[in-house]
Amino acid sequence: MLQRRLGLTQATAINMIDMVGIGPFITLPMVIGMMNGPYFLYAWLAGALLSMVDAMVWSELGAAFPKAGGSYNFLKEAYGEHGAGKMMSFLFVWQTMIQAPLVIASASIGFAAYLNYLWPLGSIASKAVSGALVVLIVVLLYRKIEDIGKISVFLWAGVILTLVWIIGAGIVHGNFLEPLKHINDNIQMNYAFVAAMGFACVKTMYSYLGYYNVCHLGGEIINPTKNIPRSMFLSIAGISILYLAMNISVSSVIPWHIAKDSEHVISLFMQSLAGNAAAVVVTILILWVAFASVFSATLGYSRIPYAAAVDGAFFKVFAKLHPTRQFPYISLLFLGGTAFVFSLLFKLSDVISAILAMRILIQFIGQAIGLLILRYKRDATLFPYKMLWFPLPVYLAILMWLVILVSTGFKMVLTGLLVIVLGIIVYFFKAKKQKEWPFNLKKK
């Protein structure tokens, strides 16, 4: 059985290092380019708002069902353990086995991309680096959870140090608030602006994802009814401030029309302020952050197939714990191996939108609707944490996620739907063989 060994500090650290990762450093120029103006900061504010609203949904569910697997348990409880919940939870695990390795691979590919600033790599060498990083992460995670908690806090310190240095450098430069003075320059509230905001928010949300990682580790969190919600809101508040401050800092030194075309904008920023040596150091710290993100994401996702297998809803082999270190090693090895393959096959630009498109309908919208169902069917005492102004935040979260889904583009939406349809087909074959819902409607 998994043991509760992670406190609030460790849970928050795991969330924050998963949220930061390589995301903000590679998406910063993308967001500026999509918004094409100094008002690009609004896309980061919108991402923070959606994250905070959606965290209310996760907090209610995470505090009520603090088990390993996160959304797997939430969907099962919401749609019925012996009913449609079997299919919904299966679909979540099904898509997780595809998109979780993509998330891990995206961070490792981003790591290799930033390494190019220090050592120019060919395409084959870049793939080798990204693959090797995944292997190293699996090796580090092959240990007891309390040791992982200590490693997470250590990595988290590097994440905070990097962001604080970048922000501090911009403040010392003396022009820190200049971007805010021009945030509304040439802004026009029309369809083009709304469309650009949607496309840009796909990238900013990629950078915010991970605020819920603690829910996947629910079975290992101390005092989960309080620490799960607290760690999420602390993570989002802290990271939002750091992201906004970092963007303001960079754009106060590198004009937005130059920053949007830079592949290593943070390195260029530090080089402009303090020379080549400082640029090298900050690039190394960014690589540290990317490494920490792969570490945290792999840790959280490895608990999902395990939880489903323990529950009898997935292949039994994934239910195995390491005989002496008590962690789901089969799940870890499978996701790590798949991520290794993905890191060799795909480009970073191909996976960011796909990651969101593939998970929005089942994980985010599906469990938001599920919370509405649970709140209607069950006694309020089931929910130790209760959001303010329920159910308005739930409806707002659903609407915002629909906008993000459409903004990923037709091809990505179609890909996400295809994954779901294939998962439904596989589920019905499995359900018919095992006489589960809807082929056996008799309640146990």
Q: How confident is the model at residue 1 (pLDDT cuts 50, 70, 90)?
A: low
Quote the CA–CA distance of 159 and 27 in Å, as a whole number: 17
Q: What number is the average pLDDT over the span 220-230?
A: 95
**pTM, two decimal places:** 0.88
Quote the CA–CA distance of 333 and 139 in Å, as a whole number: 9
Separation of CA 83 from chain center: 29
Residue 189, phi then psi, degrees to nearest 5: -80, 85
Residue 217, phi then psi, degrees to nearest 5: -105, 20
With respect to residue 291, please indicate whether it lies within any of the assigned structural domains: yes
365-416 tens-digit pLDDT: 999 999 999 999 998 888 999 999 999 999 999 999 999 999 999 999 999 9
For the beta carbon of residue 129, count every other beta carbon within 10 angstroms.
Answer: 19
Q: Is the pLDDT of residue 443 over 70?
A: no
With respect to residue 3, please indicate whether it lies within any of the assigned structural domains: no
Domain containing 171 equals 8-346
3-state secondary structure of 6: strand
With respect to residue 433, please indicate whether it lies within any of the assigned structural domains: no
With respect to residue 358, please indicate whether it lies within any of the assigned structural domains: no
Those residues with Cβ within 8 angstroms of residue 94's Cβ, 6 or more apart along the chain or in another chain:
419, 423, 426, 427
With respect to residue 216, please indicate whether it lies within any of the assigned structural domains: yes
Q: How confident is the model at residue 441 (pLDDT cuts 50, 70, 90)?
A: low
Q: How confident is the model at residue 76 (pLDDT cuts 50, 70, 90)?
A: very high
DSSP E strands: which ranges in 238-357? none
Burial of 123 (0-12, 13-18, 19+ CB in 10 A): exposed
With respect to residue 138, please indicate whether it lies within any of the assigned structural domains: yes
What is the structure's pLDDT at 276?
93
The count of domains in the chain is 1
With respect to residue 432, please indicate whether it lies within any of the assigned structural domains: no
Longest CA span, the chain = 71
Q: Give the CATH number for residue 109.
A: 1.20.1740.10
With respect to residue 380, please indicate whether it lies within any of the assigned structural domains: no
Dihedral sign for Cα atoms in the order 256, 260, 262, 267 = positive
Beta bridge partners of 371: none
Which tokens go with 441? 């409607």
Quote the CA–CA distance of 245 and 45 in Å, as a whole number: 11
Q: How confident is the model at residue 140 (pLDDT cuts 50, 70, 90)?
A: confident
